Every structure is written in C-alpha cells, then in structure tokens.
Amino acid sequence: MPFAISDPADPRIEPYRAVRERDLVGRQHRFVAEGEVVLRVLLRQSRFTIESLLLAEGRAESLSDALALLPPDVPVYTANRQVMDAIVGFPIHRGILAIARRPSLPPVEEILAQLPEKALVVGLIGLTNHDNVGGIFRNAAAFGADAVLLDRETCDPLYRKAIRVSVGGALVVPFTRAPSAEALLRALEAASFEVIALSPSGKEVLSQIRPSRRTALLLGAEGPGLPHGLLEKTRSVSIPMSGGFDSLNVATTSGIALHHLTHG
C-alpha cells in the first residue's frame, strides 16, 4: 500500500529533494533511477538494493506488475504532480523515481576473477560524457559484455542521465573503477585478456579481428582518443571510414565492435 505524500517537506521523501542539485554534487551512497523502462530494469534485472520509490499519482496502477517484484519492506510514496515537482525541484514528466543503494566498487581484480573462462569486457579511458557512457552501457548490455571497467576520469554510470541513456544497461552490467588506465591494463593482462584498443590510428582493422577466449575492448574519449602509451602496449584496431569523414561516435563505435566480436 503506497504512502501518499501531500507535504513537499515530508521528511520521508528527503532523498528525492533537489534532484538536479544533488546530481551535480554527486551522491556517495545512493543513486536515482527515473522513468518506467529504467525502473522495470531495476526491479527485474539489477543487483542493486532499492530503498524507496516516489511515483506520481496514478503511476502505481500502470506499474503494478513490476511493483509486485518489490520487496515488501521497500516503501512506495505517491504524490500529485504539483507536490512531486515541488519535491524534486523541476517538472518530472515521467513521474517515476527510485532511490537505490550504491555499493562500494570492488577492485578490478575481484571482478575479473569472477568472470567465466570465456569473457568479454569493455574498458573506458577518460570518457567524461554521460551520454556516451550511458550509450556504451546500453550496448554492453545488449551484446552481453561481462563487465565494464572504468579509469578514474570516466564519469559515473549511475548518474541519473547515464542510467536513462543506458536504458537501464548501467544497472545490469557489472562495473568497477581502476586507479588508472595502466592499472586497468595490468589487471586485464594478469587475467589473460587480449586487449584490443580501438583507435582511428589502429594498426589492424576491426573486421579482420577474431575474438580470443578472453577479450577486452578499450575505448577512449572522442577527440583525444586513447593515450599513445596504451596503444603501444595493446593490439590497436581501427574501423576504416570513407572519404575523409573520419568520425564515429564512441558509443556507436562500441556497438559496432561488440557486434563484430560477438557475431562477426
């Protein structure tokens, strides 16, 4: 039975207050998921503990099949649109928010140790754009990548917008962060991964690559790309393009490479 909230200052919905301002600061122990598609992934497929839901009036009915999966001790709050907007701080058209617990990230070595013998992981170096990181998680989920590894500079996959762009993929694919790109590479090599670094200057061509039993795909930010030192130590691979138009979005690149490695 949902709890109806009529006062935006109600202390029970404190974590939903000023969503955007807190997005900017970053949440240490929680994250916010929004919208029906993402909530359904959070309820059905993710490994995260949900703390509470806040729904616009009327949304609970259309979600009842998904809400049946919610542990009975997790509170569901409802509010009319006006109260919900006042809590959140902006018009929240989707009318669906969840707060979940952000676990501490395991060491890269620990995630790698848990992977099956045949495995495919994605490594992200210096990706500071939430749309791109979200898009890459969407593709990683779609093609069944076993994990995504981030360097220190890559932005947070549990940022609200990254989760939304990932269509929930950021809630599905296990990820963690390495202290540096070099540490990430060492951990992959120690776990017997063949490391493929995508770069417009790559020495081999993607369509000629056959995946190894354990393959890691490294992607850098559009523009700077992967650091030169990293390309020297890995198998560098390019996607040939046409007529001087040498420009692919990095999330699209991840989709092309993951499709090739899983179905090529």
Question: Contact residues for its own copies (CB under 8 A)?
Answer: 45, 135, 138-139, 141-144, 167-169, 172, 205-207, 239-249, 251-253, 255-256, 259-260, 262-264
For its own copies, the closer CB: 76 or 196: 196
Instruction: Look at residue 99 and give its three-state secondary structure.
Output: strand
**Number of residues written out for the chain:** 264
Instruction: Read off φ and ψ for residue 174, nearest 5 degrees.
Output: -60, 140
The separation between CA 259 and the C-alpha centre of its own chain, rounded to angstroms, equals 18
Q: Which is closer to its own copies, CB of 144 or CB of 229? A: 144
Q: How far is the CB of 1 from its own copies (least distance, A)?
A: 30
Amino acid in the structure at residue 169: G
Find all residues with CB under 8 Å of 230, minimum gap 6, and list them.
Answer: 125, 181, 182, 185, 197, 218, 220
Nearest residue (CB) to its own copies, 99 versus 250: 250
CB of 166 to its own copies, least distance (A): 9
The smaller minimum CB distance to its own copies, of residues 199 and 253, is found at 253
Cα distance between residue 85 and residue 54, in whole Å: 11
